[in-house]
Chains A and B, each alone.
Chain A
Amino acid sequence: EVQLLESGGGLVQPGGSLRLSCAASGFTFSSYAMSWVRQAPGKGLEWVSVISGSADSTYYADSVKGRFTISRDNSKNTLYLQMNSLRAEDTAIYYCATRDYDCSSASCLYYFDFWGQGTLVTVSS
């Protein structure tokens, strides 16, 4: 059974940093591209970033480019999102997500079958 478990959320001041983690189990992690999707409180969904299975390819939404860095440790079956220079508008639940078949290339991760339960990031002074 595929399981994705996010952690690392919390309260941070504007301009601060935070690193989110997503622990994966139930599938061959290195064979799957992974994404982060966020949702501001009471708002819709926003795709944030994607990384290929081998970590050789990454893409970002314009809203986070240059501030966020996606990475992964395939030996630990864990996905990360390093968030720097945080702004109030980054306040959201952050989900990690992937597909339901071997999809190693970032380009094939364009629909999301599996989602974690999310971790809340609040940026406020």
Chain B
Amino acid sequence: EIVLTQSPATLSLSPGERATLSCRASQSVSRYLAWYQQKPGQAPRLLIYGASNRATGIPARFSGSGSGTDFTLTISSLEPEDFAVYYCQQRSDWPPGPLTFGGGTKVEIK
């Protein structure tokens, strides 16, 4: 099973600052990686798929990059509504290999 490790666990930033979140895979997942945002009490929301493609309705301040084992989600300038938990998810070897998620990065207000 491919393990995704996200870092840092918590990112403390101020509105307007740039956020850089990392996701590292235990083996190559090519570009089969997605990013989700989750706010308290809500279901996750798909932000990025295929490592760098924004999902429908996602603002341009969100961007994804990377391939193989190292991926990055960048929020160019944090808006108040961006403070949340972010998860990466891979689909390599699917199916029947399981879909797996990273442990999450919490972006909190400094």
Give chain A's interface residues, CB within 8 Å of chain B. Answer: 44-47, 50, 59, 61-62, 95, 97, 100, 106-107, 110-113, 115-118
B95 contact set on A, CB distance < 8 A: 50, 59, 106-107
Contacts A44-B87, A44-B104, A100-B56 given; indicate if A61 touches B98 (C-beta within 8 A): yes
Q: Is the CB of A110 within 8 A of B46?
A: no
Q: Say what secondary structure dominates the interface of chain B.
A: loop
B residues 32-88 near A (Cβ < 8 Å) are: 32, 34, 36, 38, 43-46, 49, 55-56, 87
22 contacts between A and B (CB under 8 A): A45-B36, A45-B87, A45-B101, A47-B99, A47-B101, A50-B95, A59-B95, A59-B96, A61-B98, A62-B98, A97-B43, A107-B95, A110-B32, A110-B91, A111-B34, A111-B49, A112-B36, A112-B44, A115-B44, A115-B45, A117-B43, A118-B43
B: number of interface residues (CB 8 Å): 25
Instruction: Flag whether B89 is at the interface (Cβ < 8 A).
Output: yes
A118 contact set on B, CB distance < 8 A: 43
